[in-house]
């Protein structure tokens, strides 16, 4: 399953090690229901996604950017009529998301136990440094990892820098993650290895259209297949 040259395995965090996307989907549903007096749910959903995409370049990923986008959206979608109580509720929801307990994905701990005996493991994640460090600690998985790399984005350039930073080479580097766009395609493009472990919920922004076919690529159904 894992190429003989591999020495370092990087795991994506959100929806690879622990559950994340469903928390955002739940928060979006709550937002749409709070906005029902102003806009039908379907329209709120679509416009909110557009707003998040507009803000992504300037805000980056994570719960704080998401919360700021929700507040901006609430004001815009209501034509400036949204009551302060709803904005307060969005701030409260954001804080709750930041303090949410971490749900480790089934079978992951056994996989890490197994792989950490043979490989140097790191976490390679987008998002907010403080938030991701906190989740790693709450997950109880931190002792399996050499360290956590929080990347401002996951492009080829970012992976090249990460591999250089790890004093490694593409042939020695395997990335495991749930997003074809962020965890797989750029990694294959720089000559490293990638294994895709899909998660049931994927943010539209992380989706890719084409099927991935590449000699350095595998797709599995569950992380537990990694050691079986």
> Is residue 152 part of the contact set for a second copy (CB under 8 A)?
yes
Cβ within 8 Å of residue 130, ≥6 positions away? none
Helix (H) or strand (E) holding 175: strand 173-177
| Per-residue CA distances from 73 to 54, 82, 210 (Å) | 11, 10, 32
Tell me which of 13, 39, 82, 174 binds a second copy, using CB under 8 A. Answer: 82
Min dist. Cβ of residue 208 to a second copy (A): 23
Tell me which of 2, 23, 87, 102 binds a second copy, using CB under 8 A. Answer: 87
Give the separation between CA 94 and CA 96, rounded to whole angstroms.
5
> Is residue 59 part of the contact set for a second copy (CB under 8 A)?
yes
Give the separation between CA 127 and CA 109, rounded to whole angstroms.
22
Min dist. Cβ of residue 6 to a second copy (A): 22
Per residue, the 3-state secondary structure of 187-210, as one string, reads HHHCCCEEEECCCCCCCHHHCCCC
> Is residue 3 part of the contact set for a second copy (CB under 8 A)?
no
Q: Quick one: 106 or 153, whose CB is closer to a second copy?
A: 153
Give the separation between CA 125 and CA 123, rounded to whole angstroms.
6
x/- map, 94-133, a second copy, by CB under 8 A: xx--xx----------------------------xxxx-x
Residues that bind a second copy (CB under 8 A): 58-60, 64-65, 67-68, 71-72, 75, 78, 80-85, 87-88, 91, 94-95, 98-99, 128-131, 133, 147, 150-153, 161, 165
């Amino acid at each position: 399953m894992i190429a003989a040259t591999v020495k370092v395995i990087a795991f994506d965090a959100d929806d690879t090690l622990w559950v994340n996307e469903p928390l955002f989907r739940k928060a979006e549903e709550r937002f749409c229901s709070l906005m029902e007096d102003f806009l039908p749910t379907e329209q709120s959903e679509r416009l909110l996604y557009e707003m998040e995409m507009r803000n992504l370049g300037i805000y980056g990923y994570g719960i704080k950017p998401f919360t700021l986008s929700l507040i901006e959206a609430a004001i815009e979608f209501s034509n400036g009529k949204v009551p302060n109580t709803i904005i307060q509720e969005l701030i409260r929801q954001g804080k709750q998301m930041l303090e949410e307990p971490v749900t480790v994905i089934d079978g992951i701990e056994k996989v890490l136990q197994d792989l950490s005996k043979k490989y140097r493991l790191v976490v390679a994640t987008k998002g907010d440094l403080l938030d991701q460090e906190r989740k790693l600690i709450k997950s109880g998985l931190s002792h399996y990892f050499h360290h956590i790399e929080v990347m401002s984005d996951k492009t080829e350039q970012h992976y090249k820098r990460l591999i250089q930073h790890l004093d490694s080479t593409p042939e020695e580097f395997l990335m495991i993650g749930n997003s074809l766009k962020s965890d797989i395609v750029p990694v294959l493009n720089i000559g490293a290895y990638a294994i895709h472990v899909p998660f049931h919920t994927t943010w539209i922004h992380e989706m890719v259209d084409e099927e991935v076919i590449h000699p350095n690529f595998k797709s599995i159904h569950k992380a537990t297949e990694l050691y079986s």
